[in-house]
Amino acid sequence: MRYSLSPFSPARSGSRRRPGAWVRLRWLRPGLFALGAVVVAAFVLYTLLVVRTLRRDAQRVAKLYAEKILPRAYSDPTITPGELRLLFDLIREMPVAVIVTDDTGNPVSWKGIDVPDTARSPQAMARIRRVVEDMDRSMPPRKVSVPLPDNRSLQMEIHVAESAFLRRIAWMPVVAAIVTLVFAGIAFWGFVQIKSGEQQALWAGMTKETAHQLGTPISSLSGWLEILKEEAEAAGARRRRADGVILDMSHDVERLRRIAQRFGQIGSQPELRVEPLIPVIDETLDYFRVRLPTLGRDVQIERNYRAVEEIPLNRELLGWAFENIIRNSLDALARVEDIALIRVTTDRMDNYVRILFEDNGKGIPAGDLPRVFLPGFSTKKRGWGLGLTFVKRIVEDYHGGTIAARSGGAEQGTTIEIRLPLG
């Protein structure tokens, strides 16, 4: 079947992008991300510098401990008991890990490791030996000779390394980065939720107010129609013509009433009923069929329907979504030189119904595809750029489906794919 293109939909004589919310978000989101990355990087860098300083100080203390303090405590025969107590007090307080082994490698004493100094089990000894191997890789052991009463000496090795506390501090930058990123993610999620809530409230308020504002003139028009009907009954010979005018006006008033009803439903949670899908699509196409006067060219509409099951839907809102898509297709076909074509296809997939709206119009540039459903985005000189935004809200928020736009680029046509769940 062929229908003429309607002049009431403004032709896209030029591709002019209208600034909208997406323009601000385009730079706001990368800016916030970059700022957050700078803050995290600065925090991690500062933490690394602090940890490096602590580790350097600990290494100096460990070297002093191994070269000066421990050798004197174990091997200096001139040290007094008071000095010895002082040295061991210093040993206990120093932020280093120490293990003393005999000439056969058996641990004699230790501190600053994750093994109690009273443990003597085979498992504890084996663990201490593994710690000794790790210590020797970072700092060579210090050999000391401990004199014995019989003029013999006991050969011992002192193994020194950073304490467990300092080793844990080495992980502080990583932990700090993870905590910061988690906090930033939670904060961003909260911001998105708050923003989404504000937008939902704005949508609801705007649509309810629109429905309220439409209600008054619709009621007035209905009253005037009743008066015209009464006048037509007394018009005699002119009644037939008046009846035609009244019928057309009645249809338009009913159309306005349905528009108000749609706005009222989109501002609240609409009711879904299990109904056939095909009649909803046909109703939309038939609506355009009777309102497309001749414009010197034709539009060919193909209906490729495959049998689909009844699905939960809101007839008014889903019809409104289809209407917006068809109207956009008609706008895009205004400058097509070849045969203007709109193809509507339905088929059943796994657990959903797929609906394809295809046209061979001007297409959508690849860079604009991610923004076609954002409020305020439009390539037309007129309009608010809200049509596809309403479509997305109707399909995804109210019907639990998905919607996507595809295009081969400029002058390559556009495909809108809708998927609605079976139930």
User: For residue 27, what pLDDT band results from cuts at 50, 70 and 90?
Assistant: low
Q: Which of 273, 270, 209 is nearest to 423 (CA)?
A: 273
Q: Which residue has the tokens 């909260």?
A: 190
User: Which of 121-135, 152-166, 364-378 is predicted with the least confidence, judged by mean pLDDT?
Assistant: 152-166
Q: How far is CA 51 from the centre of its chain?
A: 35
Give mean pLDDT, residues 54-76: 68
Does residue 364 register a pLDDT over 80?
Answer: yes
User: For residue 137, what pLDDT band results from cuts at 50, 70 and 90?
Assistant: confident
Give mean pLDDT, residues 190-209: 68
What sign results for the dihedral spanned by CA atoms 78, 81, 83, 88? positive
DSSP helix/strand/coil, 223: helix
- What pLDDT score was predicted for residue 335? 67
Does residue 355 register a pLDDT over 80?
Answer: yes
Give mean pLDDT, residues 2-21: 39
Residue 406 CA: distances (Å) to CA of 15, 355, 402? 18, 13, 13
User: For residue 345, what pLDDT band results from cuts at 50, 70 and 90?
Assistant: very high
- What pLDDT score was predicted for residue 203? 64
Cα–Cα dist 290/304, whole Å: 21
